[in-house]
Structure 1
Amino acid sequence: MRLVGTLILVFNIFLRPAAQEIAVQQLTCAYAETPLGIDVPHPVLGWELWSAAKNKMQSAYELIVSNEPAAIEKGIGNVWKTGKIKSGNSIGVPYNGASLQSFTRYYWKVRVYDEKGRPSPWSVASWFETALLTPADWKAEWITDGKSLPVKDADFYQQDPMPVFRKNISVTRDIKSARLYIAGAGYFEAYLNGEKISSDLLSPAWTRFDKRILYRTYDITQQLKKGNNVAGILLGNGWYNPLPLRLWGKLNLRDYLPVGRPVVKAQYRIVYTDGTVDEISTDSNWRWKEGPVMTNSVYLGESFDARRDLTAWLKTPADSTGYPAVPVAGPEGKLEADQQPPIRIGRIIKPVAIYNTGHGKWVADMGENFAGVARIKVNASGGTKISLRYGEAVYKDGSVNGMTAVAGQIKQGNGGPGAPEVAYQEDHFIASGNGIETWNPRFTFHVFRYVEITGWPGTPTADDIEGLQMNAAIADAGAFECSNPLLNKIQENTLRTFKSNLFSVQSDCAGREKFGYGGDLFCTLESFSYNFNMHNFYQKSLKDFEDSQRPLGGITETAPFVGLDDKGPGDRSGPLGWQIGFPYLIKKLYDFYGDRHILETYYPALTRQIRFLRSRAKENLYYQDISDHESLDEKPEALTASLFYFHHVQLMATFAQLLEKKEEAEQYGTLAAQIKEAILRKFYKGNGVFDNNTPAAALFPLWYGIVEGKEKQLAEKQLDLALAKRDNHITTGIFATKMLFDVLRRADKNGQAYTIASRKDFPGWGYMIANGATTLWETWKYSDNVYSQNHPMFGSITEWFYRSLLGINSTAPGFSAFIIKPQPVHDLEAAKGFYNTLYGKIVSNWQWKDSRFTLKVTVPVNTVAAIWIPSDGEPVFIDGVKIKESSLKKEQGYRVYTTGSGTYTFRSTLKK
């Protein structure tokens, strides 16, 4: 028997390479691994493939889904069994099995068949878990403390201790699983037995609470104990109860956002090993007390009185003191599971210096600009008040300059009744006197490098204060590095800026406004997407814009809508350059992630938007827009507005075609052609000159492709002349800056792009760095009083790092087909990086030494790539073997080799 067993083992070893050439890994549901708490009936599934062999493709797949872990391990799909499906699709596969049930964990496996029809092994089982799939599943009530909102605006600024709620939970049997489903309007923090149940911050995400409210699901199985437990919930104002600050002296968010007293709805579901279930929900049986958070604002900060600490109350089951919770109707929005990555602490940053500025004030320099809060550790007598004021800069005397992050430019008493003279970012802590206390604000966030400390007992040290850098917990998707230290520093500063502006919206700045602007989104979303996995974050952004869509169909300048409509076409809709963020985001989610469902979901909203824009156009043109924001040149406003309109219609023609709406695609295509003709008649002056002949005036038409052939060449020449006139310095605003690097990349003028990007004098990214910037500024000029020093909109340059220097560009949805076309420049010796697609990691690493160019690439399984190898025409080698000329396509300055999956090293001759 032993001999037979040995023979079988040897036989299996020899069979393994053929049978297991391809493996399934990285299973996802709803674009996340093992999501806890989804509430859609047909979530999309996906997987990644791996193989050591080259040129591997998927020809079919097979899925099984079960609600029992034992069944799935036996290969039994008692909920869904697809059988063999002939398809190369490994992303965005919709679940179409039996109807999903609430509160259920589903286990699933997949196997695929390769290009020769050979099956892979079954994957390791993964799972997803449903939350509340129907409104009837909710048993909880909205509760609050019953306090009324102030009648007078000035009274909003008075102390208003936030409520802390509690409820006893008795567990008498062995627990199989326990979940908390919790929603709020305003912020919440949930506790069990005095301990916070998760590391999530600033939950729930900001939405239009009258349209949609997001809830989260938490696994509390390990935290809930047999016997007596205490559930606790602390509330904060968040975006549901903002202060009536008059931003810019006029804009009161309470006039535009759904507002009210913070409320919470929570449902605890305990499943016991005997199969029975207990549900404990928020209702009038909960008790509440005023807590230690005395004031809290997303702009002005938080005040905390540790003498009012309620930790003991949240730990003691026998304590039934407090007031009965007050059930209320709550906001009108639909409850939906939150799939956006939660906000968490990304890094802990220690100060690089702490110094005394006199008059009892200390300044902690964190060494870098970021978004978050400070955490302090102090031993002070009871009643001692410690104040923290945040700023991005310091004055010449070393004191903190908070003016670039002042809320809504409120600096001269123009914030309305009760508002501070200057709307600084500040936090305040009152010590309890009970020894060493560690504290950080819960319900606010700031942008800062420097913290001014007032009231500290003694001398603070680096052990007493630290920065908590906060952001949505997005996964990295890419990386870039090259032999030019300046470009590496630009990449570093850009990523720090991006993370500083990822909370529940992609914001313009994390201090002054904190809003989700559509124009800023348009300019940077590809840069964000190359660096981070943005699908679920941006999916929420799309819903925000749809929820804020105006009655006549226009898209708002920001989402959620806060009342801004600068140079919009009416009905409080945004300017066209900010409205374009909505359809452009849809297109890019399709391009980056192959998400066709996005097109289907938002097509009705897009149709309403285009109908509105058509009704407001004047002979197919528009004449007003914010245009190329923060340009140093005069802005070609009407030209850009009209081209934004053209882009809207062009995208609609594309969407209609993709959705096989042939008649509508033809109609939109005809309209786009008419708009193009009107633009050329109005703004083209001949000889390649558009409008005011600035770089932006050339870039917009070139980027949108409305000139071709000779006229395109003339326009490119005018762009060259305009740039030369400015000594190849960047003077464009946020849109034309993005377009500049795209236009130069398409024209294979990467040397010019590199020169512009590498400038160290004014204006440019190098100038920011030379002046101490650790993040991107809002403007090319340095500002110490008005403009933000942590602003993502000029971060579009990082897209160029990936698309030009690394050369990674998609040619099919989701990067199922792509090109790697590095565009080397003489001063650059090497560049390396990767981008993680849903199919796997694309790698592009190259070195250029003397006249030898070496390019190492990785092509994921189930994809095809065209590799553009820079070459002077001499022989090209792959993995040391000369490639036959018949296998190479000749392009100017390149040899193109098309291949399937694998890792390859190419070598060519390229003279410096």
Structure 2
Amino acid sequence: MLINGMVEPCSVSTDLPIIISWLDEAFEQASYSIQVTDESGTLLFQEEKQTSVRKATIKLSPSTEAHQVFFVQLSLRSREKTKRNFSSRFTTISQGIKKAEWITRLDHPIAKEATYFRDNPTIILSKTLQLDSQIKNAWIDLCGLGYYTLFINGERVGNDYLNNDVTNYDKVVYYDTYEISDFLTIGENLVAVELGNGWYNPAPINILGKYNVRKQLSIGKPCLIASVELEEIEGKRWQLSTDGSWRSSEGNILMNNLFVGEKVTDQIRKKNDKTVKIPGPSGVLTPSSIPKIQRVEKCLPKRTTCLGDKVIVDFGEIISGQIDFIVSKKFTGKIIMNYSEELSNEKTLDFSSTISGAYGITDHELGITPNQRIIQSDTLEKNKQADFHFSNQYTYHSFRYVELIFNEPIVFEEVIQDLSAFRVHTNVEAITEFDSSSPILNNLWRVGLQTRLNNIHSYFEDCTRERFGYGGDIVALIDSHLYSIDGSNLLKKVLIDFINDQTIEGGIPATAPFVGIMTNGPSNKAGAIDWQLVLPTIANKLIEFYDETQFVRQFTSSLIKHIRYLLSFDFDYVKMCSLGDWGSIDEKRDGLVITSPDQEFCSACSYSIILQEYLAVMEQLSEDALVQQLVKKIAEVNQTILTTYYRPEEGCFGEGTQSSYIFAIKAKLLDRKKQSDLAEQLAQLIERTGGIISAGIFGMSWVYDQLQRFGYKEILFSWLTSLEPLSYHSMFAETGTLSEHFPLQDQQSTYNGSLNHAMFSSYSAWMVKQFLGISFPEGIFKKVVIRPQTELPVEKVTGSFKTPYGKIQLQWKKVEEMIIGEIVLPKNISYEMSFSSEDWQIEEHVQEREEHQELLLKMTRK
């Protein structure tokens, strides 16, 4: 049972409707009843419904001042009157944190940019709690900016890292709630919070050589707001909030920055500083509702090369994560750790794919110059003759190789023990499993999913070099997210991120949070039109796929403001405000200007596409007047595009590139018959170029469904499974990740890109829909359509997809001249079998399995 999408959450607001959903794939539900009671057993809510829907909305009285625990009793009944009972609990939010004060250590205000990289130990703020009796319940609400780690009595609370949901802190500040009664004892208890810089105190570096995010983000000195609430066995309650009485001290991390790394020492100065209160950011304190960033997988080195005072450790594939090891007491001195995704040669790291920019400042003391390129690097200064555990805390790196440089030659095995790395990302649930007889398909699935996960850290990033939340990348990958992870709560948060950074005029920025990028944007702080497509796209997917119409409806005014903004431009101007099919193999460069293929035509199509996306949203929100206005405007825009760019004698648009065909079909410029002709010409063009699909991130995302719809699945299969030099296989064979560009034989890409970049992983949704044959055209809460593409040259496919009704499991294989398969469905799911041929025989069985029933479909075809 999930409450607002979480298991037994500790921060539920009763000011808003509460969504309770449940999963029992073994039970054929005909009705349900729900009761909500408080700790005294008083009934507060009751509902009974005759329905198979597994979601209910409850409304309680507005939240009180303190945390309250509520209990949910759920009873399901079948048509045969059998009954299943479930129970859960949730805790409401407390108002205590809103009465607390933002506090920090008194040493200096926001430091000068020129001294940012000098030693400035992490801030530790602590408070002693004296408990004279046993505690029944205890909670802490807290937010530490930029990142924080919570300790109670020296023990780390939770498994979360890089903790704080990144957003525009001037608009919203997300806080976390932990139930901490198990950490407390009678007597003295020490609550301590360490603060890292994170995105709230970013470095003044020039990312991509020009974007100093300190000039755009809501920034400040690392600070804490927190409230501890305790309930004794006898029922007495009391709260303790952050104020000037908390103690301040220093941690052992002397410098920390997301893009650079950390400098750590084993000598902590025993110094207590004064604690002061400060205003803090102006954003509304809001409970977090997304999964936390965690260490999700431990990775061990594959090879170690010792070169005197230097050791190069190879982890076998690129990791987005943190390093962890123990330094023996035998060693004292300095260790520098440099990180890279590739090597120049066996002895030298190549940093070109991970350099985020230049320092942008002069610091003579540290030898830093403005144009000095930044590499990802950590430093350990070890002074004591005792074992020391080094582990990243407030940074993460993108690396396959780690170079450890010692101040003298060493015997590596004697100095470094238990060296490992951890993959670190927002711990969203992977809902799809895929395996087949094709190793390259299996690698495609694994690498696509892993690269996307590598670049999720409380929002969807493009890569670990830039770490920006680009709207265009989100649009290109959204279907693959829907068909591989449970991302509903994360998508809601990202939708709010973009709305919070909406411009005064109504435009949407290229990234959220806004970092200053306005390339080809139509107005101040707004992104290119194809990047602004992110707002209606997320809104549409939340409505259509996740049935979240009510959630989206609360932002109707912001969506309409964006539509009015889009409609305010003259078409001849707005058609230029786009980047076209960004990232295409066919792009060209002239100095600093990169031009996508058929950029003007594709940009014009982007304007039509964003209006069509909004048309779908407004139809769902029943904004009838605006629907009519959009219908009229789209017809006018498409007619103008036809008049300007269509070449009827060739039957194509613009220059006739692959991107132009894909954008034309996506924008629905022609009727279905002529769209079919466009698809045929596109297929022929791909074949003439050796089967290479050269589209950029948007075209590559849309081409799978477009060519599939018109019967060209073989071309897609050949492209995905190609072993040629220019292919997906060549892209990830060495790195285990996808990159920003396809490898070009005998020529350079238009610019150096990241080797850990997710924007071309859009094929994943197509793999689920075609090989597993699982799709949800009406949304994940409606019926599943099952249509595996067994005609493609794959001998065997197995996999599963977790739905709100349970897990769908599927397998099929080719045996001699037959195809046989099984599909196991939750007994209560609605499904439709859809095959291109009538030769299939389907047998339906109900099977007993571990005290529950499943629906088993056996399919055969000669």
1:63 correspondence with 2:27? no
Counterpart of 1:533 in structure 2 is 486
Q: Which of these residues, 214, 217, 220, is aligned with residue 174 of structure 2?
A: 214
Distance 2:507 2:574 in 1: 16
- Please say if residues 688 and 713 of structure 1, whose CA atoms lie closer than 8 Å, have aligned partners that are also in contact: no
Judge conservation of contact 2:14–2:61 (CA < 8 Å) in 1: no
How far off is 1:631 after superposition?
0.5
Equivalent pair of 2:166/2:199 in contact (CA under 8 Å): yes
CA distance in 2, matches of 1:484, 1:847: 12
| 1:366-377 mapped onto 2 (5 Å cutoff) | 366-377=315-326
1:374-393 to 2 correspondence within 5 Å? 374-380=323-329, 384-393=333-342
| Inter-partner Cα distance in structure 2 for 1:592 and 1:830 | 29
Q: Among residues 4, 12, 19, which one is paired with 1:44 in the alignment? A: 19
Post-superposition Cα deviations, 1:748-779, rounded to whole Å, max 9, x if no partner, equal 32222111111111321112244x12000110
The answer on 1:179 being equivalent to 2:145 is no
Q: Which amino acid aligns with 1:395?
A: S
* Bigger mean CA offset, 559-568 vs 616-625: 616-625
CA distance in 2, matches of 1:688, 1:503: 45
Paired with 1:633 and 1:205, the residues of 2 have a C-alpha distance of 37
Q: 2:382 aligns with which of 413, 431, 438?
A: 431
Could you tell me which residue of structure 2 aligns to residue 109 of structure 1?
73
Q: Is the Cα–Cα contact under 8 Å of residues 185 and 331 in structure 1 kept in the other structure?
A: no
CA contact (8 A) 1:853 1:909 kept: yes
1:351 paired residue number = 301
The answer to whether the 8 A contact 1:688-1:717 is kept is no
The one-letter amino acid paired with 1:326 is V
1:876 to 828, 841, 859: 841
For 1:745, which of 699, 705, 708 is the aligned residue? 708
SS at match of 1:604: helix
Q: Which residue of 2 aligns with 1:454?
A: 405
For residues 89 and 826 of structure 1, what CA distance do their matches in structure 2 show? 36
Partner SS for 2:611? helix
Distance in 2 separating the partners of 1:63 and 1:43:
13
1:144, 1:264 within 8 Å by CA — same for their partners in 2? yes
Does 2:646 correspond to 1:680? Answer: no
Question: Which sections of structure 1, spanning at least 5 residues, go unmatched?
Answer: 1-26, 72-76, 311-320, 882-900
Deviation at residue 644 of structure 1 after TM alignment: 2.2
Show the counterpart of 1:491: 445
Q: Report the more deviating stretch, 605-614 or 619-628.
A: 619-628
Match of 1:143 in 2: 103
Partner of 2:228: helix, strand, or coil? strand
Match of 2:312 among 345, 363, 366: 363
Within the candidate set 621, 630, 633, 1:671 is matched to 633
AA aligned opposite 2:843 = I
Is residue 575 of structure 2 the alignment partner of residue 622 of structure 1? Answer: yes
Conserved in 2, the CA contact under 8 Å of 1:109 and 1:122?
Answer: no
Question: Which range is displaced more, 803-812 or 99-108?
Answer: 99-108
Matched, 1:649 2:616: no
SS in 1 for 2:507: coil
Structure 1 residue 434, shift from structure 2 partner: 4.1
* Preserved CA contact (<8 Å) 1:150 1:156: no
Unaligned runs of 5+ in 2: 588-596, 847-852
| 8 Å Cα contact 1:354/1:363 also seen in 2 | yes
SS of corresponding position for 2:730: helix
Contact conserved, 2:360 with 2:369, CA < 8 A, in 1?
no
Task: Say whether 1:339 aligns with 2:305.
Answer: no
2:533 matched to 1:567? Answer: no
Q: Deviations over 1:140-180 (max 9, x none)?
A: 21001133346642122221122212211100011101111
Q: Is 1:907–2:859 an aligned residue pair?
A: yes
Partner of 1:860: 826
CA contact (8 A) 1:411 1:422 kept: no
Question: For the residues of structure 1 that align with 2:148 and 2:761, how far apart are their CA atoms?
Answer: 33
Check 1:652–1:241 CA distance in 2 against 1; reply closer, same or farther (3 A cut): same
Q: 1:857 to 1:382 in 2, by over 3 A?
A: closer
Residue of 79, 86, 93 corresponding to 1:131: 93
What SS class does the counterpart of residue 779 from structure 1 fall into?
Answer: coil
- Letter paired with 1:145: R
Q: Aligned pair in 2 of structure 1 residues 652, 862: CA closer, same or farther (>3 Å)?
A: farther
Q: Distance in 1 between matches of 2:249 and 2:652?
A: 69
Specify the alignment match of 2:347 in structure 1: 398
Give the counterpart of 1:201 among 161, 165, 168: 161
Measure how far apart 1:870 and its partner are.
5.2
Shift in CA distance, 272/610, structure 1 to aligned 2, threshold 3 Å: same
Amino acid at match of 1:440: S
Secondary structure at 1:716 match in 2 = helix
Partner of 1:843: 809
The 1:436–1:597 alpha-carbon spacing in structure 2 relative to 1, beyond 3 Å, is: same
- What secondary structure sits across from 2:99 in the alignment? coil
Moved more, 443-452 or 839-848: 839-848
Q: Does 1:299 align with 2:252?
A: no
Q: In the aligned structure 2, how far is the partner of 1:432 from the partner of 1:195?
A: 25
Q: Distance in 2 between matches of 1:688 and 1:736?
A: 19
Partner secondary structure for residue 854 of structure 1: strand
Shift of 1:220: 0.9
Instruction: Answer yes or no: is the 8 Å Cα contact 2:34–2:75 preserved in 1.
Output: yes
% identical aligned pairs: 25
Aligned length: 835
C-alpha RMSD over aligned residues: 2.5
Q: Is the 8 A contact 2:204 2:360 kept in 1?
A: no
Match of 1:477 in 2: 431
Partner residue of 1:325 out of 261, 266, 275: 275
Structure 1 residue aligned with 2:591: none
Question: In the superposition, relative to structure 1, how do residues 113 and 150 fare at CA in structure 2: closer, same or farther (>3 Å)?
Answer: closer
1:815-854 → structure 2 map (5 Å cutoff): 815-854=781-820
Q: CA deviation at 1:257?
A: 0.5
- Corresponding residue SS for 2:483: helix
What one-letter code is carried by the residue in structure 2 that aligns with 1:720? A
The residue aligned with 2:551 is 598
User: Residue 258 of structure 1 is aligned with which of 218, 240, 254?
Assistant: 218
Cα contact 1:599–1:655 (8 A) shared by 2 = no
Are the counterparts in 1 of residues 13 and 93 from structure 2 also a CA contact under 8 Å?
yes
- Which residue does 1:422 correspond to in 2? 373
Query: Normalising to structure 1: TM-score of the pair?
Result: 0.87
Residue of structure 2 in register with 1:80 after alignment: 45
- Residue 621 of structure 1 contacts residue 678 of structure 1 at CA under 8 Å; is this kept in 2? no
TM-score (normalised: structure 2): 0.92
Write out per-residue CA displacement over residues 603-629 of structure 1, whole angstroms, 9 at most, x where no aligned residue.
Answer: 221111111111124259612312211
- Seen in structure 2, the aligned counterparts of structure 1 residues 870 and 151 have a Cα distance that, compared at 3 Å, is closer
- Aligned residue in 1 for 2:590: none
Residue 795 of structure 1 corresponds to 761
SS of the aligned residue for 2:698 comes to: helix
The question of 1:30 aligning with 2:4 is answered yes
What is the CA distance between 1:378 and its match in structure 2?
0.6
Q: Is the 8 A contact 2:738 2:757 kept in 1?
A: yes
CA shift at 1:99, angstroms? 3.5
Note if contact 1:305-1:431 (Cα within 8 Å) is conserved in structure 2: yes
Name which of 181, 193, 196 aligns with 1:233. 193
The correspondence for 2:735, drawn from 773, 779, 796, is 773
Superposed displacement of residue 682, structure 1: 2.1
Paired residues of 2:601 and 2:645 also in contact (CA < 8 A):
yes
Q: Do the aligned partners of residues 430 and 879 (structure 1) sit closer, same or farther apart at CA in structure 2, a change above 3 Å counting?
A: same
Contact 1:748 1:823 in 2 (8 A): no
Task: Report the equivalent of 1:24.
Answer: none
The range that moved more, 198-207 or 844-853, is 844-853
* Equivalent position amino acid for 1:480 in 2: F
Deviations 1:370-403 (A, max 9, x none): 1111112112468611111100001113322222
| Cα contact 1:639–1:683 (8 A) shared by 2 | yes
Q: Secondary structure at the match of 2:209?
A: coil
Displacement after TM superposition at 1:120 (Å): 4.8
Corresponding position of 1:269: 229
